[in-house]
Amino acid sequence: MNLLFIIFQRVRHFFLANGANGIHSPFVFDFYFQVLNHPYNFYAFDQIEEQRDRLLDLDSVIEYQDLGSKSAFVKTKISQLAAKSLMPETKDVFLFQLCHWLKPKNVVELGTCLGITTAYLAKAYPARIYTFEGIGAISNEAKEVWKLLKINNIELIEGAIDATLPNFLIKNSPNIDIAIVDANHSYAATIANFKNLAPHISNNGCIVFDDIYWSSDMAKAWNEICEMPEVTISIDLFHLGLVFFRKESLKEKFIIHW
């Protein structure tokens, strides 16, 4: 993470971004008010946040091989992992509202972590949630979260995502309505994940990328993805980026204050 790069991009985004008055697409205008500025809270939020608090207080230690590190093993408290790796509540609520708006049948999440974001997705709408996590010890903690929340519409796929995702897509050929990419934040992995997912995204579906300005590599990948011919609408929220595949829409880019 390059802090100076992020600060520069944040300032740039502030001056380029629009509010509702700068949105002339009916579809994106609806997205703005139904997802970004949705005024309601749901009972599920408090239930899931109780689980986040539980994880943040959990001092038990897990040891695992970090697939993205040269180190053989990582040993950490679950509370430390939760503090470092969980999506913040604002992003989770956004994804909940996105699911509530699009009413998906199939959702794919790359990067389960401890299962809090997955729980928000599962509670938003009775879709089938397919979530991918490379580390079994972390997956076990996520399963406990879902068990305590009585969630049963999640299918967990364990193993390195660069292998498990292509195998899953070939075997199932799913029609994906929402995909969330919050795994390997490298340029190559982000582009590869897009190319794997894009042929399976439904017409009204979208791919959500987390931390699009985390690094210059992520920003480069995001900008290239926005130019892909199958992408019609891209929405840059700074912390998140969304690309839609609506055949009836003109190709447009939106930078929106959030």
Q: What per-residue confidence (pLDDT) applies to 238?
A: 98
**How far is residue 93's CA from residue 45's CA, in Å, rounded to a whole number?**
8
Kindly state whether residue 78 falls inside one of the protein's structural domains.
no
Region class of 150: left (phi > 0), else alpha (psi between -120 and 50), else beta: left
How many domains would you assign to the chain? 1
Kindly state whether residue 9 falls inside one of the protein's structural domains.
yes
* % of the chain at pLDDT higher than 70: 97
Kindly state whether residue 77 falls inside one of the protein's structural domains.
no
Q: What per-residue confidence (pLDDT) applies to 39?
A: 72
Q: What per-residue confidence (pLDDT) applies to 40?
A: 79
Residue owning tokens 């509670």: 123
Single out the residue of 123, 116, 121, 125 nearest to residue 95, CA to CA. 121
The residue-averaged pLDDT of 3-32 equals 94
Scored b (16 or more CB within 10 A) or e, 37-65 reads ebeeebebeeebbebbeebeebeeebebe
Instruction: Please report how the helices 43-56 and 78-85 are oriented relative to each other, as an axis angle in degrees rounded to 10.
Output: 130
* Tens-digit pLDDT profile for residues 141-158: 999 999 999 999 999 999
Q: Kindly report the average pLDDT of the chain as a whole number.
A: 94
* Tens-digit pLDDT profile for residues 115-144: 999 999 999 999 999 999 999 999 999 999
The residue-averaged pLDDT of 84-108 equals 96
Are 175 and 197 in contact by the 8 Å Cβ rule? The answer is: no
**How far is residue 16's CA from residue 172's CA, in Å, rounded to a whole number?**
41
Kindly state whether residue 45 falls inside one of the protein's structural domains.
yes
Region class of 103: left (phi > 0), else alpha (psi between -120 and 50), else beta: left
Single out the residue of 194, 206, 197 nearest to residue 237, CA to CA. 206
Cα 82 vs. chain centroid, distance in angstroms?
Answer: 16
- Domain of 22, CATH number, reads 3.40.50.150
User: pTM of the full predicted structure?
Assistant: 0.94
* Tens-digit pLDDT profile for residues 38-87: 777 888 999 999 999 999 999 999 998 776 555 568 899 999 999 999 99
**How far is residue 207's CA from residue 109's CA, in Å, rounded to a whole number?**
10
Kindly state whether residue 76 falls inside one of the protein's structural domains.
no
Q: 213 is in which domain, residue-wise?
A: 3-55+86-255
